[in-house]
Amino acid sequence: MADADRLRRRAAELFGFGDLRPGQREAMEAVLAGRDVLAVMPTGSGKSAIYQLTGPELDGPVVVVSPLIALERDQVDTLRADERRGGAVLLNSQRTPAQTAAALEDLRTGRAVFVLLAPEQLAREEVLAELAALRPALLVVDEAHCVSSWGHDFRPHYLRLRRARERLGSPPVLALTATAGPQVRAEVVEHLGLRDPVVLVEGFDRPEIDLRVQRCRDEAAQRDLVVRTATATEGSVLVYVARRRDAEEYAAAVRAAGRPAEHYHAGRRKGDRDRVLREFLAGEVGVVVATTAFGMGVDAGAVRAVVHAHVPDSLDSYHQEIGRAARDGAPAVAVLAYRPEDLGLRRFFTSPVAKPGPLREVLTALRREPAGTSPEQLRRALGVSAARLTAAVNLLGQVGAVEEDADGRLRVAAGGGDPEEAVAAAVELSRRWRVLERTRLEVVREYAETAGCRRAFLLGYFGEELRGTCGRCDRCRAGTAAGHVVRDAGEFRVGASVVHARWGGGEVVRVEPDRVTVLFEEAGYRTLSLQLVQEEELLHAA
């Protein structure tokens, strides 16, 4: 096993690191010890180095799951550029049978250590069988927050990785993500089936990003703020909006103000989206106005401002999006143009509570096919969209009523119980998700309206405590933050486990002189008056 000094030497030789960064050494040592690992580290902190440095030390290939083909290609090119890194191959739907066969042969002979693929590939039995025969030594799940229904990047195929791991011989898992609050971390551990994992949470603080929120009296003031910031900022600018039409309209407004700008959303043709991304990364277009469809895998060092024209759906999304600024370490700003009316739009977008009828139809159809059926056959039989079917199957799967067999066929789970009880459980799970989504949105409102230090608020949401104030946000400069610093939180310090008589267990995520915010497992985020908590003994240490 490689010791810490050897890892440091390899990091210096292959990556030019002066030393291993916080969390890297611990994660590498855990991987080499055969432990499951969840590493939550900011983009640009060297998450990929964890498996790239340890992979060649392991006895078997390393399977790396990534959600974007473009990301996979970049990783493969990097690993192939230096033979000391072990070599890599790529498996995806665009590869010919001959290319796939050659890639597998490289893995078998040891010419390549790493195989990169999308999660959809691991839903294919023939791919699983080929990889299982190679006895992988490690399964890496990049962008692991995609497994969480709380994340805006949720990908249904990520839910199947737990079964894929079993088919691969249950190798250790290294789950990587740049943003994951307590609830997302819990879902990653659960859905990937991590066994007694080493959980490393590093670097949520980005002191080089100045945090600002400006309340806007109406849409005209909001648009003026966004356009002024985008045109006045030297360097690249990302503007996030709530809807596709907003992306087009704001980009047009920025262009009308004299600065070239492009819009990006899922409704544009893939060729256009690829062009916008390519030009943005090359610095050929200075402003991109986008929905949340833009961002994963974007690594442009010179982004000097991230502007939110509308409130984000959660602080998870917000932290990830503003984290695309200042990756070169130079100062940048994050500006939120806040109108309370926009919260209503976000509430409208929250997931609806599932209706029993469609869930019942899926179970009824599957009960008629005891041997199972493919998702496409089931979709055609029910006459529903793929998105609607996926939502129903995911819910039923998470309550143990539906399962997927080794060939990708759906069927009623063995011991799935009474169908009506399964439908009721799925509806209840859907209801809980809606409650959690809406309470996360309430936390966004509190962040926008707080008089305290914004960085302390943001870090507290992710389970980190900032002593004092940051001096790099608008509230600190205005002088209001100092009055909201808690000198002694007592039993309600950030990270403390507590129990509420009605809402059950939870974790303290923020404390102010007069209130405490707790993330409850069942009821989401709730902010309570400290006076009432103390007078009525509402919370107790767990």
Q: How far apart are CA 72 and CA 64, in angstroms?
A: 9
| Three-class DSSP category at 229 | helix
Helices 47-54 and 4-15: angle between axes, nearest 10 degrees: 110
pLDDT of amino acid 515? 85
Strand partners, 139: 63, 173
- Rounded to the nearest integer, the mean pLDDT of the chain is 86
Q: State residue 407's pLDDT score.
A: 64
Contact 112, 89 (CB under 8 A): yes
**Which tens digits make up the pLDDT trace of 353-362?**
889 999 999 9
CATH C-level class of 484-542: mainly beta
**Of the candidates 261, 256, 250, 255, which has an alpha carbon nearest to the alpha carbon of residue 226?**
250
- Which residues of the chain form CATH 2.30.30? 484-542
Among 303, 308, 252, CA closest to 280: 303
Helices (H), 110-181: 125-133, 161-167
In this prediction, residue 1 has a pLDDT band, given cuts at 50, 70 and 90, of very low
Strands 62-65 and 198-201, by their bridges, are unpaired
CATH class of this structure's domain 356-430: mainly alpha
Residue 84 DSSP class:
G
Instruction: Describe the crossing of helices 386-398 and 356-367 by its angle, rounded to 10 degrees.
Output: 80
Q: Is the pLDDT assigned to residue 189 strictly greater than 70?
A: yes
Average pLDDT over residues 294-320: 84
What's residue 80's pLDDT?
A: 67
Asked whether 241 and 250 are in contact (CB, 8 A), the reply is yes
Residues of the chain with CATH 1.10.10.10: 356-430
CA 381 to chain centre: 34
pLDDT at 521 over 90: no
Those residues whose C-beta lies under 8 Å from the C-beta of residue 421, and which sit 6 or more positions away, are: none
**CB-based burial of residue 59 (10 Å sphere; 0-12 exposed, 13-18 middle, 19+ buried)?**
exposed
The residue with greater pLDDT, 307 or 52, is 307
Question: How many other CB atoms are found less than 10 A from the CB of residue 298?
Answer: 18
Looking at residue 430, its pLDDT comes to 87
User: Is 50 exceeded by the pLDDT of residue 96?
Assistant: yes
311 has pLDDT over 70:
yes
CA 138 to chain centre: 21
Note the pLDDT of residue 480: 95
The span from the CA of 279 to the CA of 296, in Å, is: 16
Burial of 193 (0-12, 13-18, 19+ CB in 10 A): middle
d(CA 370, CA 529) in angstroms, rounded, equals 54
Q: Who's near 482: CB < 8 A, 6+ residues apart?
A: 469, 476
Q: Dump pLDDT digits (tens) for 373-400.
A: 988 899 999 998 887 888 888 888 878 8
pLDDT at position 82 is: 62
Element (H, E) at 449: helix 419-449
Q: Within a 10 A sphere around the Cβ of 537, how many other Cβ atoms? A: 9
Read off φ and ψ for residue 227, nearest 5 degrees. Answer: -65, -40
Predicted local confidence at residue 300, as pLDDT: 65
SS (H, E, C) 199-229: EEECCCCCCCEEEEEEECCCHHHHHHHHHHH
pLDDT tens-digit series, residues 24-64: 889 999 999 999 999 998 766 678 889 988 998 899 999 99
Q: Does the structure show a pLDDT above 50 at 247?
A: yes
Q: What percentage of the chain reaches a pLDDT higher than 90?
A: 41
Q: Give percent helix, percent strand, percent coil of the chain, each to the nearest 5.
A: 45, 20, 35
Contact predicate 289/254, CB 8 Å: yes
Helix (H, G, I), strand (E, B) or coil at 497: strand
- CA-based nearest residue to 90, from 106, 103, 74, 107: 103
CA distance 127 to 28: 28
Q: How far is CA 386 from CA 112, 155, 177, in A?
A: 36, 13, 27
Q: Would strands 261-264 and 236-240 be described as parallel, antiparallel, or unpaired?
A: unpaired
What is the DSSP code (8-state) at residue 373?
Answer: B
- In the chain, CATH 3.40.50.300 sits at 4-201, 209-349
pLDDT at 436: 82
pTM equals: 0.79
Could you give the C-alpha distances from 130 to 115, 127, 134, 519, in angstroms and in order? 12, 5, 7, 43
Q: Tokens representing 451?
A: 């008089």
Mean pLDDT confidence for 203-216: 92
Question: Where do we find the tokens 């230096």?
Answer: 82
Range with the poorest average pLDDT among 160-174, 294-308, 386-400: 294-308
| pLDDT of amino acid 283 | 84
- Domain 209-349 top-level CATH class: alpha beta
The pLDDT > 70 percentage for the chain reads: 90
Q: Output the six-digit token pair for 437.
A: 């989504």
Would you state the pLDDT for residue 43?
Answer: 67
The confidence score (pLDDT) of residue 92 equals 80
Give the range among 90-94, 212-216, 263-267 with minimum mean pLDDT. Answer: 90-94
Determine the 3-state secondary structure of 100 from DSSP. helix
Most confident by average pLDDT, 289-303, 436-450, 488-502? 436-450
207 CA to centre of own chain: 21
- Overall average pLDDT of the 492-514 stretch: 85
| Sequence letter at residue 214 | Q
For residue 124, give both structure tokens. 């294919």
Question: What CATH architecture applies to the domain 4-201?
Answer: 3-Layer(aba) Sandwich (3.40)
Report the distance separating Cα 379 and Cα 270, nearest Å. Answer: 25
Coil vs helix vs strand at 383: coil
Per-residue pLDDT tens over the stretch 138-165: 999 998 988 876 544 556 678 789 989 9
pLDDT on residue 152: 45
pLDDT surpassing 90 at residue 274: no
Amino acid at 293: A
Q: Give the C-alpha distances (Å, rounded to integers) separating 304 from 228, 233, 254.
A: 14, 7, 16
Beta bridge partners of 86: none
